[in-house]
Chains A and B, each alone.
Chain A
Amino acid sequence: DQQVKQNSPSLSVQEGRISILNCDYTNSMFDYFLWYKKYPAEGPTFLISISSIKDKNEDGRFTVFLNKSAKHLSLHIVPSQPGDSAVYFCAASDLTGNQFYFGTGTSLTVIP
């Protein structure tokens, strides 16, 4: 049962433009959402998170939006840079904050 879904396996964006990565979830009990970035042959690294009590969290070029009614979140990267090229995983955790569910990832390519 895939509780966290990333329906776009890949995305290509021109340098300087906005990258929008999408994520949907099915479990209304999820309370905390995270985005991880992963380069080949490395472990995922935490990028940004959002609590269910918020609808937006911003950190520099990265903004995460949460739409609880639609069970949807998105990551915006503005402006996109070639170094942003990586696989991005969406994750959600339950109320305990100790169990995490990951999406299948979206491979972002930023074209110089």
Chain B
Amino acid sequence: EPEVTQTPSHQVTQMGQEVILRCVPISNHLYFYWYRQILGQKVEFLVSFYNNEISEKSEIFDDQFSVERPDGSNFTLKIRSTKLEDPAMYFCASKTLGGTGELFFGEGSRLTVL
């Protein structure tokens, strides 16, 4: 069964460092997403991406964050300078275009900031 894969499963970084989280969406999906879940809190939308550009982003997705699809398979989330409030599970998800249909989530990347 096709799945969304994320790497690394756990990223430990120093505050102020850049972090790149990687995702390989399901191959025939066209919409890509990043969500995060801070421990004990809800799953929060960060950004959606379609046709090589951001289609929507939340208030959380400020200038510290960026997304990129550097090739035909990877979808990355970059945090330029990590802060103490950034630790969370970051989930990548993908979906076929439009209509009804569910998001398929990856296993998540846990970010720890020291």
Residues of A within 8 A of B (CB): 32, 34, 36, 41-46, 49, 51, 89, 91, 93, 96-105
**A49 to B103, Cβ gap below 8 A?**
no
The yes or no answer to B75 lying at the interface (CB within 8 A) is no
Q: A41-B108, A98-B50, A102-B43 are in contact. Are A46 and B99 (CB under 8 A)?
A: no
Complex alpha-carbon distance, A1 and B30, angstroms: 28
Assembly CA distance A45 to B44 (angstroms): 16
Once the chains are docked, how many angstroms separate the CA of A96 from the CA of B100?
Answer: 9
| With A42-B107, A46-B102, A98-B97 already in contact, 12 other A-B pairs whose C-beta atoms are closer than 8 Å | A34-B102, A41-B108, A42-B108, A46-B103, A49-B100, A97-B99, A98-B31, A99-B45, A100-B45, A102-B42, A102-B44, A102-B45
Q: Could you tell me how many residues of chain B have their Cβ less than 8 Å away from some Cβ of chain A?
A: 30
Interface residues of B (CB under 8 A from A): 4, 6, 31, 33, 35, 41-45, 48, 50, 55-56, 91, 93, 95, 97-108, 110
Tell whether, in the assembled complex, residue A105 and residue B43 are in contact, meaning their CB atoms are under 8 Å apart.
yes
Secondary structure of the A side of the interface?
A: strand
Q: Which residue of B lies closest to A49 (CB)?
A: B102
Residue contact B108 to A43, C-beta cutoff 8 Å? yes
By a CB distance below 8 angstroms, the chain A residues around B41 are 104
Residues on B with beta carbons closer than 8 Å to the beta carbon of A101: 45
Q: How far is the CA of A42 from the CA of B3 in the complex (A)?
A: 13
Q: For A99, list chain B residues within 8 Å (CB).
A: 45, 48, 56
List the B side residues contacting A36 at CB < 8 Å: 105
A98 touches B95 (CB 8 A): yes
Closest A residue to B103 by beta carbon equals A100
A42 to B95 Cα, complex, angstroms: 18
Residues of B within 8 A of A102 (CB): 35, 42-45
